[in-house]
């Protein structure tokens, strides 16, 4: 006869086992040089495939690693499903905004937040045997600004990025801070207008002498964004289309969902933008479209040939399973933090 205690232990064991199979968020200290004292959290599935990809997911101003992990599905669900490592960096400085203003952060190997994040990537490549050619990044608001910063300063580290409601690389250069409270507001207000050549020159100056590839960029923005103006999407597009030497090709309306227009540059493998009609600062992270772009799902809109990374028995989710954008409300509400959500 099975005693109640044995049964309880058995149930606890099953429960613990199912918990262990989901990638929970764990803090990592001592990941390497950390010039600005930021935090590293990681969600790594128990059964990673060989040479997994890495996705760095960066929170908005006022947010945290835990908040962004809870808000999107990259670490909570998709890391397990597709077998990648999700890194959630966190900062508590400057109203929890990433440093996109100092020359340290904007310069290759210059220090500050960008170098700390890159050292998290290097740690994860080493620890999980991850594929250095499949390191990706995404973020919202301040995290999207940081995605642009890293694309400019560390093009050798990141293969692709997806930025939700961001600004071009260097837009905040020289600003006294990177938060709405501390920053020069011109960039957030869409008043830093430059030519593609000027923006691209700024990118090139971040890493002089570098002649390799730059990250493929997927850029999202709402037309009704009052925190970081829609004009900044145009500035990002000018920047990265110039860097990648591509020009506007076509629009695809109602893509990926109603009300969004996909703007394709060149053959669509290097730069793609998504414009959300009447969408505000909060743009849902559309994880499936992002994973397609990174080539992690093995199909879809991504430019690179999809690398099948998922393990057997974990079939890729159909794109249609992504939640409709309308059911994903802003989390910030009336007290929403600027550059946050």
Ligand X SMILES: *[C@@H]1O[C@H](CO)[C@@H](O)[C@H](O)[C@H]1NC(C)=O
Which positions are catalytic? Answer: 141
Residue 263 binds ligand X (CB under 6 A): yes
Nearer to ligand X, 273 or 290 (CB): 273
Give the nearest distance from C-beta 303 to ligand X in angstroms.
20
Do 217 and 236 form a contact (C-beta atoms < 8 A)? yes
Q: Does 249 bind ligand X (CB under 6 A)?
A: no
Spatial separation of the C-alpha atoms in residues 212 and 156, rounded to whole Å: 7
The least CB distance from residue 308 to ligand X, in Å, is 33
Q: Give the total of residues touching ligand X (CB under 6 A).
A: 4
The residue among 109 and 253 lying less far from ligand X, judged by its C-beta, is 253
What is the closest distance, in whole angstroms, from the C-beta atom of residue 196 to ligand X in the complex?
A: 17
CB of 253 to ligand X, least distance (A): 8
- Candidates 21, 103, 251, 254: give the one binding ligand X (CB under 6 A): 251
The C-alpha atoms of residue 152 and residue 326 are separated, in whole angstroms, by 33
Where do we find the tokens 């009609």? 277
- Binders of ligand X among residues 12 to 51 (CB under 6 A) are none
Separation CA 88–CA 69 (nearest Å): 7
262 binds ligand X (CB under 6 A): no
| Shortest distance, position 234 Cβ to ligand X, whole Å | 9
Contacts of 309 (CB under 8 A, 6+ apart): 49, 52, 53, 82, 83, 84, 134, 296, 298
Among 107, 175, 178, 275, binds ligand X (CB under 6 A): 275
Is 154 or 240 the residue whose CB approaches ligand X more closely?
240
Q: Which residues pair with 263 in a beta bridge?
A: 251, 273
Strands 25-28 and 39-43: antiparallel
Smaller CB separation from ligand X, 247 or 251 = 251
CA 294, CA 42: separation in Å to the nearest integer?
A: 19
> What does the CA dihedral 332, 337, 340, 341 come to, rounded to 10 degrees?
20
Q: How far is the CB of 251 from ligand X (least distance, A)?
A: 4
Taking the least distance from each CB to ligand X, the nearer of 21 and 247 is: 247
Residue 261 binding ligand X, by CB under 6 A: yes
Distance, in Å, from the CA atom of 182 to the CA atom of 214, rounded to the nearest integer, reads 30
The span from the CA of 150 to the CA of 144, in Å, is 10
Q: Which of 301, 333, 336 is nearest to 319 (CA)?
A: 301
* Binding region for ligand X (CB under 6 A): 251, 261, 263, 275
């Amino acid at each position: 006869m099975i005693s109640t205690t044995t049964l309880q232990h058995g149930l606890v064991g099953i429960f613990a086992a199912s918990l262990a199979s989901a990638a929970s968020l764990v803090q990592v200290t001592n990941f390497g040089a950390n010039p600005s004292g930021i935090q590293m959290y990681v969600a790594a599935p128990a059964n990673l495939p060989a040479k997994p990809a890495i996705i760095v997911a960066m929170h908005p101003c006022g947010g945290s690693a835990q908040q962004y992990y809870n808000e999107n599905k990259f670490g909570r669900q998709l890391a397990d499903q597709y077998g990648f490592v999700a890194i959630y960096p966190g900062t508590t400085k400057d109203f929890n905004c990433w440093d996109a203003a100092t020359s340290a952060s904007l310069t290759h190997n210059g220090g500050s937040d960008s170098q700390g994040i890159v050292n998290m990537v290097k740690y994860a490549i080493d620890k999980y045997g991850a594929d250095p050619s499949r390191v990706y990044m995404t973020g919202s608001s301040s995290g999207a600004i940081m995605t642009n910063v890293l694309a400019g300063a560390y093009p050798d580290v990141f293969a692709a990025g997806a930025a939700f409601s961001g600004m071009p690389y260097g837009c905040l250069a020289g600003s006294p801070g990177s938060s709405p409270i501390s920053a020069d507001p011109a960039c957030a207000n869409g008043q830093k207008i430059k030519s593609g050549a000027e923006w691209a020159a700024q990118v090139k100056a971040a890493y002089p002498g570098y002649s390799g590839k730059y990250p493929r960029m997927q850029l999202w923005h709402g037309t009704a964004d009052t925190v970081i103006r829609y004009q900044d999407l145009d500035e990002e597009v000018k920047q990265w289309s110039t860097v990648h030497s591509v020009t506007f090709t076509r629009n695809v309306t109602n893509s990926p969902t109603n009300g969004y227009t996909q703007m394709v540059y060149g053959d669509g493998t290097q730069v793609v933008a998504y414009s959300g009609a009447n969408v505000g600062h909060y743009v849902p992270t559309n994880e499936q479209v992002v994973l397609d772009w990174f080539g992690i799902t093995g199909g879809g809109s991504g430019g690179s040939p999809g690398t099948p990374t998922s393990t057997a028995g974990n079939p890729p989710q159909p794109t249609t399973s992504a939640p409709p954008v309308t059911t994903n409300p802003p989390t910030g509400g009336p007290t929403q933090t600027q550059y946050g959500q």
